[in-house]
Structure 1
Amino acid sequence: MGLQIEIWKDTIEEKLLKDNAFLKFISNVSESNIINGTIVHIPQAGEPSKVVKNRTTLPAEVKRRNDGEVLYKIDEYTTDPVHISNAESVELSYDKRRSVLDQDVANLSEEIAEGMLTNMVVSPVGDNRALPTGNILETTGESTRASLTGATGNRKKWTLSDLQRMRNFLRQQKAWQEGKMHALLPDSALMDLFPADSTVVATYMQGVTEDERRNGVIMKVQGFNIMSRSSVFVLDNNKSIKAFGATVAATDSEAGIFWNENMVEKAFGNLETFEREKDPQYYGDIYSFLVRMGGRAKRKNYEGVALLKQANA
């Protein structure tokens, strides 16, 4: 049987959200705002009218509201075409096609997750604005050996007080909305914050509904829905965010991200599956995938988005 295109489209989208649960907790741009599946176009309302208490000067000044727009290009992710020979399709006892393509979808999912995380802290709009260093807090716990592979020396442990400080920071930004706050932390942070022998941890876990647990939330602490990933961000000693895949320096540290889901957006563009069956030159079938997805922090100064970096000890 040939590749069933519509089924694979659903499979890819389902896997993207299953492997990267944090994407479910980011507001989704309406399809009407996506032009040709590649450009996001969002009208922006201008400044509201000024309010004067007990106005004494008449006539009041008439002003016109100047509306604007936000335009940005959605990232395009494509897999290398994979060749499955006729012999492999016919002779193997398992579905070689399904096995190979599942692996490609997993790699695609990883790349998209890293791309979306990058877009949350570096603006794709065109000016390359990055998350201000003032939005990067540091851990305050006891000294412990660096957990990041490739880093050396000691770091300060992640503590519940750090989560409380992050909550207070986002409240001061007027970016706090109950039930809309989320955190994606590296696995190493969970070992410090939620030791297995702590009775308090069980309480945090009991606060999560079954539906939330299926969507990747493992605990609720200080008003945050806590999720985890093997690695989130790596920052250098000057709080600069390093690109995914960059070489880890001895002084680098891990960081987790906190956000208000209404102050970050994602945009799904086109999702395409390409196939060429019974190719006469390759004596088999050739498949590849294309996914367009982008996103950004909505506020110019990144209100509602912050990082917690493991501090040097």
Structure 2
Amino acid sequence: MNVLKHISLILIIFAGHTTAQTPDRFRSQILSEDEMLITTGRAIQLIQENKPTEFKNLFAPDIRKTISDSQIMQLTEQLNSLFKNEKIPTDKRDILPSLQVTGNSKDTLFVNNINYNFKSSQTLIFSFLKKYGTKELAGIHLKKQPLNTGNHRPNLKQIEDFKFNVDDITWFRIYYDEGPNKVTKFKNETGYFAVQGDAEKFEKSGIKPILKNIFSDLAQSKYESADIFNDSLKRGEDPKFIQIEFSLKGKPYLISLYLPLLDHQNYSGKIVLMEKEYQNLGYQFILNQNDYLGVVKEFPKILDLKLDNFYEDKP
């Protein structure tokens, strides 16, 4: 399989707009290059030795849960093919750190990258987040052309309907943002929160009955359009929204459901359902809220739950 033509290897979403700002402004966000290089060196070794399980274990647990066995095997196979066809960079001039600043002034994500620049103009990017440290990967991306050129297609088959079983959920993540007027305190943050975890945490959180009702309404499977997406969702600036992402037992994809909560913002009056092979590659379905009044009614009920013990420390 041709790695350039068939796959883009991003396993973490970078929501919002990426800016090339001067790293000196964010000195405290920069992780140890030497420590990150130890981890990337270990990752490359495991790929060369064709050890997908051990390679998968290098990812942070939150990320690891979203990667299926078939995905990590495909990832290992294709990177191994790249390494065999091209010499892995060893010159320090070809292995460079970078800091990626993503988001806006109110909600900023700092991503530390180690970039391996191959002679063929490809770049293998290993990503790290401060909350996971330097010993665990947050993402990996093989870059030749920007994903938004539209030349990447998912290997997944497009789902035929929206019939999901709430008992099959193995991992979930809910994210809520109050939008431009952030006033409510959620643990360590003001105006937004995330709750995520495995099937056990899903049961304990009280979210399951709400999602069961949402699934019941989704089962009618109506949509206005279905397209391939190869970029992160364009929510717009300071949107008010609630979103859930979940993986299902035995399925090679993630499902994401996005509900905007204000008029005059991107996707107002719509619901966005995404079938994800990777965080920025898959199929996107646009649903009309008038067809799914049950979803519109049930989704915000999550905000009424007592989730204080479930909020993420760093959403």
Q: Give me the TM-score of the superposition, normalised by structure 2.
A: 0.27
Max Rg structure: 1
- Work out which structure has the larger RCO, using CA pairs closer than 8 Å and 6 or more positions apart in sequence: 1
Q: Give me the TM-score of the superposition, normalised by structure 1.
A: 0.27
